[in-house]
Chains A and B, each alone.
Chain A
């Protein structure tokens, strides 16, 4: 454990910017909205900004990404394929514990199954992560219900906790330790561990006023979804509310469905693009010949909540697929963000 004065904390970002492309929470001057963006200078980063509108998953899994380029000369019968991998070194500064858990889920999914996703691995290989614990929740947060906050306990290189005038700095990797030493940060005495624990307890206690409805129900709902004990008409109700806009999946830190498309360019080459996709779109499962096995919208909604809250999916992630950031609740025009779905299912169970 180390300490850095509050006003000096950006020195860590400045040091990282020397060797990494830096990403951090930035407040848009016009709209006041917070985005997790690439910054040219560490002064653009605002650590005190609220949770970004879109999670930093785009740093490892861009919304549109060129993964391959090829050229086929049909008259000469000559094909050339070039794989495109992102070999930049990237540093994420100030990621919140929910989004950090989202990254861990993506890691386990992309790197941990039968096949390794090489494109994702390349993004992730040289990354440096500085996380920031939440000493107070924001209004839509429920990470305490999904075991992903308010304090981070794994997955970071450095972790920051604001304690009074100081940030407590914890190193989670050799890379992190090395950076702390390079900056010459002073060690924190053991009493700070106790202060950090108190800050954690206080942060958790602040959730009681904002997350009452869904607390403790997520695990019960997971059980129900897994065992299929939810009545068809509950899914139908939820499905009918869905606008099929896909916003919930785009702002979700753990949603990682993608589409692959080939785009021909005027110079005769073709780009293979990998883009975010959403299970709520009608064309998502449609096959050539127009057969669509998953047609009604409730089938598709059902799929997303199954993905976030069933045990079988959790086995892939080694935790629930939901990290409690509350963004889907925030963006959903149909009022079926995940916390609301939990509430609908809770009502069905209890009433």
Chain B
């Protein structure tokens, strides 16, 4: 049996060890992983926007998006505790083993958007799948125009990757605007929903692509506002989330109309999403 096809672990999970665990925000932890098999570790290559199938032994398997950049970044997963498998994952400690299959999915377009301005709009942990692309774009800073991150969260405590953002702000030409819905004492920044940042950042429209990721309510209102500003629907890109069981286009759980999120997606333009005929 060919378990690794085109660098993707297809059928049987490869064992990886948790090397480090970092507490992010409430209910979200980042797990730094290393494959036990050095051959697998060496050949495991990801693209921004892809995902892996993570096995937590004794609990099950889940689809988890990939936050690390494809280049010069440690393999890690940032996971919110939300169900059976992620609960069990959060109970693990450094040294524990997990299983990984993948990476699966099409990934963000990168060649096509060279030379353009990029706007990242993230709500809460929507920044996790976008992080990969942001880091990758910053590593190739001179190939793009403005790189803007608009980040919204419920409270200041819910802002993902604060330490990363501070680091990125040192890179010239990187812009980041942050807002919270419910400010707490001591919050001096912007207050309001993430779409209010669109005006504040004075976003470009010509030669621009927007990556949007967040909860469905935020997604719809942000897209409305971006379209009002004049952004075309094929310049708005998002990554969808679905219940998945196989990751290789066989179990059909992630089917929306004619497309399978695991193999055709999870990255779609808004133009494509509109025609799928299902909620986000």
Contacts and interface: CB of A to CB of B under 8 A. Distances in A.
A284 interface: yes
A115 B53 CA distance: 15
Interface stretch (B4-12, B129-137, B173-181): B4-12
State the majority secondary structure of interface residues on B: loop
Name which of A114, A259, A284 has the most chain B CB atoms within 10 A of its CB. Answer: A114
Contact of B5 (A68, A77, A115, A228): A115
A157 B120 CA distance: 57
Interface stretch (A13-21, A286-294, A334-342): A286-294
Contact of B57 (A70, A114, A115): A70
Interface string A256-272: 11111110100000101
Interface in B1-37: 1-3, 5, 10-13, 15, 17
A295 B280 CA distance: 12
A291 B216 contact: yes
Main secondary structure of the interface of A (DSSP, over half): mixed
Contact of B278 (A119, A259, A294, A307): A294
B45 interface: no
B189 interface: no
Interface string A93-118: 00000000000000001100111111
Contacts of A109: 250
Interface size class of A (residues with CB under 8 A): 35 or more
B10 A115 contact: yes
B58 A115 contact: no
Contacts of B263: 113-115
Contacts, number: 120
Interface in B227-280: 241-243, 245-246, 248-253, 255-258, 263, 277-280
Contacts of A289: 82-83
A285 B249 contact: no
Contact of A259 (B5, B13, B17, B245): B245
Contact of B246 (A79, A83, A260, A295): A260
A81 B85 CA distance: 18
A83 B58 contact: no
B183 interface: no
A122 interface: yes
A228 B258 CA distance: 12
Nearest to A110: B250
Interface of A: 68, 70, 72, 74, 77-79, 81, 83, 85, 109-110, 113-120, 122, 228, 256-262, 264, 270, 272, 277, 279, 284-289, 291, 293-295, 299, 303, 306-307, 310, 312-313
28 contacts: A68-B12, A74-B96, A77-B17, A77-B96, A77-B97, A81-B15, A114-B249, A115-B248, A118-B1, A119-B11, A122-B1, A257-B251, A260-B60, A260-B61, A262-B59, A270-B58, A277-B245, A277-B253, A284-B243, A285-B253, A286-B243, A287-B241, A288-B84, A288-B85, A288-B86, A291-B216, A294-B278, A312-B258
